[in-house]
Structure 1
Amino acid sequence: MDPLSQVISHLRPHDCVAAGLDAGGAWSIRFERHAGLKCNAILKGRCWLAMEGRDPISLEEGDCVILPHGRSFVMSAKRPRDGRDAETVYAPVSHGGTAMLGGGGDFFMMGSRFLVSGLPADRLLRTLPSVMHIRAGAEQASLKWVLNGIASELRNARIGGAVSIAHLSHLVLVQALRHHLAGPAVPGTGWLAALADGQLCIAIGALHDDPARDWSVAELGTRAGLSRTAFATRFAQTVGVTPMAYLTEWRMCLAAEQLARGSQPVARIGREVGYASESAFAAAFKRVAGQTPRQYRRASKARPV
């Protein structure tokens, strides 16, 4: 798999909810801080989105917006202002239903919110911007189809619905991240910034394909078509950590997935990600995850898998 597919395949979407909003007149609605990723697709009309610390965003029919960090925001028909509390507006609506505001008729939005779990999720989400605005186009059309699919699954309780929603939630992430990577520049540092760099992406793909290998910076530089020094400097500046630190983080992400999902001995998991001794693996895991492997496994039992 390509590096983006590998990262997303280790996320665990769960607790997905979806609902529509049919609004009319000079409506305004305030969404307080939320857990997980919130995705909104504008199916009719236009609106403004305001979030503290950045300029208001004009959303047109056909646009989608992804909010990955749970920050509060306001959506309104005119220039943003404080509005009705979203919990009050959506309170009468079941999952997959449609809330009404201001009599409806002028504006329609489909929204979805879901959580993601695991160490890979923590590492990925912190690299995303506070708002990802996807304008009408091929990527948006696919995203709108996915959001409508989630709403349909929630509205019509059918066998296999839970796994269908999980896979559709994965598609939301894929479409949003594809759009983000296709832009003229990916700001900041981290996984996404590296994946947008063609040469670094090759090296990261090699690390992902064989994480247990005893890699050297020089060998990775050769894979990327760069000298050892040029590769090490560019990698650290783009990703925010050294190549070997990134390799350690990726190994721990893979190990965390196995610890959460299975019952294999800790020593075996350590060997599979490149550590000859259980003590060396446990020390590396605690540096990255803040817990020992056994502590992480126990804590994972209380989280969705």
Structure 2
Amino acid sequence: MDPLSDVLSLLRPRSVLSAAMNAGADWAIRFPPQGCAIKTGAIVSGTCWLVVDGEEPILLKRNDFFLLPHGHAFLMASDLELPPLAAADVFAAVRFGGVVRIGEGGSFLCHSNRFVMEGPDAALLTMLLPSVVLIRADDGGASLGWLVARMMTELSQQRAGSALVIKHLAQMMLVEALRLQAATGPAGGTGWLYALADRSLGAALAALHADPARRWTVADLAAEAGMSRAAFSEHFRKGTGLAPMAYLTRWRMSLACERLLHPDSPIAAIAIDIGYESESAFSTAFKREVGCPPRQWARRAMAKDGAGGRAAAE
């Protein structure tokens, strides 16, 4: 698979809520921290401000699309001077999906999705993404229009099968937004998506993801990128926020975490499959990167998964 598909396969995003808001007059809504979740939004009509904690305010317009990968708290408002309402109160009536109306409606319309990350190493992977992914209408946001339009129809009409259609549409929006950002991300940005948009770094990342077990060196990756070793190292660090070998280690640990969830996968085999010569070398690297030995991590992860499954069943 390509790097974007690789990462999304390990993140395993699951759509848990899709809703729309039709607002009139002035309004402001405060959204709490989202935890290990990704939030997306599409502006159907009108304008509003988006303020993510720690970031500068962003004015959103018709056909703009945003994606928030880190679960930070954020504010959406027609006027930043207004005292905000709590999102839980505003959207209580549509906690299972639908369209909420503020005032008389008609001035502003938007749609949003919330995804939980079910991959075992989601936090490690989402940190490779920027705090805010913004796709302007002129940069491809309008190409998401048919998905947004269909989503609005399903949310408004709630026909038979709508729940399933909505989940699939949400997944398609997420992938398309990340794909657009990877293809058209602004030059000079920092983050994994910006690196994919860079032709040289994208080539190196594609090669690394295609064969993570290879004994890669910085010189090897530089050759894939068509750059000198020194220039590549600097460019890679600026583009991804990580040194090349640090990125390789992080990706290998993410692959290992996925494999460790399967009890029939021997640690020695996992070690070889992701590029380590021995179980002990892998275990040392895993503990250094993740914070505990592989077996301990696997026990904790499976116990947590079991508890989550029981809670869901109850």
Q: TM-score w.r.t. structure 1 length? A: 0.84
Structure 1 residue 140 displacement after superposition:
2.3
The AA in structure 2 aligned to 1:115 is V
Does the CA contact (< 8 Å) of 1:46 and 1:60 recur in 2?
yes
More deviation, 287-296/264-273: 287-296
Q: Which runs of 5+ in 2 are unaligned?
A: 310-314
Aligned CA distance change for structure 1 residues 43 and 248 (closer, same or farther; 3 Å) = same
The AA in structure 2 aligned to 1:63 is D
Structure 1 residue 178 displacement after superposition:
3.0
| CA offset digits 1:195-251 (Å, max 9, x no partner) | 233222222222211111222333332222223343334334443443333222221
| CA offset digits 1:72-130 (Å, max 9, x no partner) | 33222334522221111111224221212113232222111111243653344223333
Structure 1 residue 146 displacement after superposition:
4.4
Instruction: Determine the C-alpha separation between the residues in 1 that align with 2:174 and 2:243.
Output: 26
- 2:14 equivalent in structure 1: 14
Q: How does 1:146-225 map to 2 (within 5 A)?
A: 146=147, 152=154, 158=161, 161=164, 165=167, 168-181=169-182, 182-188=184-190, 190-225=191-226
Q: Secondary structure at the match of 2:222?
A: helix
- 2:265 equivalent in structure 1: 264
Q: Which runs of 5+ in 1 are unaligned?
A: none
More deviation, 61-70/249-258: 61-70
Aligned CA distance change for structure 1 residues 198 and 283 (closer, same or farther; 3 Å) = same
Instruction: Determine the C-alpha separation between the residues in 2 that align with 1:245 and 1:260.
Output: 23
Does the CA contact (< 8 Å) of 2:43 and 2:109 recur in 1?
yes
Aligned CA distance change for structure 1 residues 272 and 153 (closer, same or farther; 3 Å) = farther
Query: Residue 83 in 1 paired to residue 79 in 2?
Result: no
The percent identity for this pair of structures is 44
Instruction: Determine the C-alpha separation between the residues in 1 that align with 2:241 and 2:84.
Output: 39
Q: Secondary structure at the match of 2:271?
A: helix
Q: Secondary structure at the match of 1:92?
A: helix
Does the CA contact (< 8 Å) of 1:56 and 1:80 recur in 2?
no
Does the CA contact (< 8 Å) of 1:7 and 1:120 recur in 2?
no
RMSD over aligned CA atoms reads 3.1
Structure 1 residue 157 displacement after superposition:
7.0
Structure 1 residue 144 displacement after superposition:
4.8
Structure 1 residue 142 displacement after superposition:
4.6
- 1:24 equivalent in structure 2: 24
Aligned CA distance change for structure 1 residues 73 and 227 (closer, same or farther; 3 Å) = closer
Q: TM-score w.r.t. structure 2 length? A: 0.82
| CA offset digits 1:24-50 (Å, max 9, x no partner) | 122222222222111111223222223
Instruction: Determine the C-alpha separation between the residues in 1 that align with 2:54 and 2:229.
Output: 40
Instruction: Determine the C-alpha separation between the residues in 2 that align with 1:289 and 1:279.
Output: 15
Instruction: Determine the C-alpha separation between the residues in 1 that align with 2:102 and 2:56.
Output: 25
Does the CA contact (< 8 Å) of 1:119 and 1:289 recur in 2?
no
Instruction: Determine the C-alpha separation between the residues in 1 that align with 2:30 and 2:162.
Output: 35
Q: Secondary structure at the match of 1:104?
A: coil
Instruction: Determine the C-alpha separation between the residues in 2 that align with 1:197 and 1:223.
Output: 13
Aligned CA distance change for structure 1 residues 84 and 299 (closer, same or farther; 3 Å) = same
Aligned CA distance change for structure 1 residues 232 and 21 (closer, same or farther; 3 Å) = closer
- 1:34 equivalent in structure 2: 34
**Matched residue count:** 302
Q: How does 1:29-178 map to 2 (within 5 A)?
A: 29-35=29-35, 36-118=37-119, 121-137=122-138, 139-146=140-147, 152=154, 158=161, 161=164, 165=167, 168-178=169-179
Structure 1 residue 68 displacement after superposition:
2.2
Instruction: Determine the C-alpha separation between the residues in 2 that align with 1:244 and 1:52.
Output: 31
More deviation, 204-213/48-57: 48-57
Instruction: Determine the C-alpha separation between the residues in 1 that align with 2:159 and 2:299.
Output: 35
- 1:227 equivalent in structure 2: 228
Aligned CA distance change for structure 1 residues 160 and 209 (closer, same or farther; 3 Å) = farther
